[in-house]
Each structure stands twice: as C-alpha cells, then as structure tokens.
Structure 1
Amino acid sequence: MSADNWLADTRTSYDTVAVNYANQVRNALSELQYLRAALMLFADGVRAAGGGPVADIGCGPGQITAHLHELGLDAFGVDLSPGMIAVARHDHPHLRFAVGSMTNLSLQAASLAGLLAWQSLIHIPDEEVPTVFEHFHRVLRPGGLLQLLFHTGDRSRLKTEGYGGHPMKVYVHRRQPDKVAAWLRDTGFKVEAQFLLSSPDEEVSHAVLFARRKPHE
C-alpha cells in the first residue's frame, strides 16, 4: 500500500461522506462530558504556556475547532479532505480552515502553541506515524502542547462503508497508548499524561494522550 494510494483513498472517502458525517457529529460533543473535560485541560495547558495559535489537525467539519475557539483559543483547522473543509467553512465561517495533510504539514516551524489531533491518527499506517510526529514536533514551538485522541486496541481493519451507507475505503488502526507514547518520546516529546476512556456500553475504547515539545531545545 503506497502513501499516495492510502492518502488518496482516505481523501476520497471523507469527501464522499462529508455532509453526512458533519450531520452525525455536529452536536455530539455536548453529550461527551469527559471529552469536553479533555479539551478544557488542553486549553488550560496552552494558556498556561503563554497562549498562541492552535491547530486542529484532521479537523473534519470543524466542530472541535469551533469548541476550542469557544474556550478562548486562537484555533484553526486543517484536514486532508476538501469536502470536509468546505463543510467546516460553511458551518463556521468566522474560523480559518485549510486543506492539508499531517504527513506533510505546510506550517512554519515553531509557529504553534498547541496542536490537537482527534481521531485522525487512526488512519495513518504505523510506518508513517514517526514522520507525522516529526511534523508535529517541528511546527510546535518549544513548550508547545500536543493532545491526541485515538482508538485503542491491537488491530487494523478496512472500513468500506459508513455515515449513511456511503462507500469508503479507509483503514482504521487501533493502537495501545504505550506504543503511541513510545513513538512520541522517540521524536523528542515529553509525554505528560494519558488516560483511557472506556464504557461497558461502548465497543471501542479511546485514549487521550498529552505531550509537550521540550521547552529547552
């Protein structure tokens, strides 16, 4: 599976489901108090380090970017899918959104006070994750905060349908938090905290991981 192929498949898949996906998640955060708490911790951490621009990477239709803005952060969104970015711009015209890939971020070095990647790392193959983390490390300023949210587990699957029955071709990779934390440390991040969100009523558990670019680099 070449990088061009999986990136193209992921982009096309989310272009196809963009409107249905946005309708499904538009108000979901209001019911997820523990995830809202994670975002509040992220916002507090960014402000404690002096504030500044924050990137929501893999922002989808922009609902998390908008919530970060409501928390007082200077947040903007980046997503691989032009369809998702079109929806985000329509739903949140007062915010900034751009098409881009976390595998090749076109952001200036040390330009961000914080970076958030929620449920977007799940589509990145293992062999590409270190490259993604190198980009995250490069664009964060020293002391900048990173927060990841991802599915936990030990397997990958090909998703061929979703969000209203539309065809998709996208891999979903579940990973253990310790594995992701090890990749971050190898890249030069300091891992500050991780916690698991698990419910007996939910099939999939999620991990939230906080890391920081070391302040004296």
Structure 2
Amino acid sequence: MSRRICVALYNEIVALRPDWHSDDDNAGAIKIVMTGSASDPADWQRHIGNKARRDLIAKRAKDPDDPLKLVIVRDMWLTGFDAPSMHTMYIDKPMQGHGLMQAIARVNRVFRDKPAGLVVDYIGIAQSLKNALGQYSESDRRQAGIDEAEAVAEMLKRYEIVQDHFHGFDYSQALKGEPSDRLRTLAAAMNWILERQHAAATKEADEEARKTALWRYQDDVLALSKAFALAAA
C-alpha cells in the first residue's frame, strides 16, 4: 500500500465514520502511521508527524481501553512492536519468511478472552505462510500458523454450501458426459442459479437484501475458493 493509498483509504473510512476522525493524536478512532517529508502533499502532513507522534500512536494501540480502533500502517511496526490486545490485521502487500511470521505474530497473541488473531489476506499469502512455517518449530507453527485439519474442514463446509445451490439440478453430465454434454450442462446450471437468485431477490423487501440474494452464489463460490487456497497451501 502506497502512502497515497493510505491517505485515500483514511479519507474513505472517515467519510463513512466521521466520528472516528480527530486532528488530536490523543483522540480519534483511526490513525495513519507512515513516514514523510515537508515536500509531501498538504493533505498528507497531518498523518506524518515525527517519531514522538508515532510513539504516541503506538502507545495508544497497545492500550486495550483506548478508543483507537484502526491504524493504517505503511512499512512500520513489523519489528519491536508488541500489542497483545490487537486482534485483526489486514494484509495487502506480498510478505514472506521471517517478516511474514513477525507480522502474523502481531495479532496472534492470546489476550484476556481473545483466543487468537484474525488475518484478512487481500494479496494471497497462504503459500508464503506455509513456507515460512516450515522454518519454525511445531510450537511456533501452532502460535502463528494454519491448522490444516481446520482449513480442510472449512473448505468442505464451504463446498457443501455451494453444492446446496444445485439441489434438485442434475449435473451428472458435467462430470461424466461428452464435451458437448458438459457445455450444455454448464449453460443449464448457469440458468438454474440465475433464476433462483432472481426469485430469491424478488422476495426481499429492501434493496440491500435483494443485492445480497442476487450475489449469494457468487459470494459462496468466492468463500469456497479462498478456503480451497488455504487448505491446498
């Protein structure tokens, strides 16, 4: 994530949650931690500050009772930063090896009633994580890694959800038929899904629920794809 994107993301979030913003570094629910200089654009300056500002935000992030909810970090806090109360990390840059393990460990600390952390992967780091875990002990893997049995179980659960969309539809020819049979079955399957999603959407009262109904199959397939990638890593 570039510094420009950091600022743009901040602005988008604040537009949705205006009460999260504060010009005071001691207040506000969202902050950016990044380096910069006086030559950077004017609207970046309030996010740059100096080391004292970064240390203040780090101190706030470590305090579980502080109202700070989200910190957008640009190439910082990967080493020497320990905040057991942090529970979610959003990753949007390629990482590997020791650096990746350190990043995962930032949120995967037990704290009070928090059993583990959540890593939201926007870039696809599952294989890199598995490779990195191979360099560590079994206890380290349990601390920061993927439980393969759980990953497979999640994939099978997602598979059953997708399969349920085709309940009542005969797709056997897609599995054992000739190429022409498979193409016809694929077209019929697409119509099957579209018709049922449309029927489900017409039963909903509000626009958001209709949109959810129209995209339910696609969303379930996406969830299955992610679960498969994790299980296969």
* TM-score of the pair, normalised by structure 1: 0.34
- Larger Rg over CA atoms: 2
**Structure with more helix by fraction:** 2
Higher relative contact order by CA 8 Å / sep ≥ 6: 1 or 2? 1
* TM-score of the pair, normalised by structure 2: 0.33
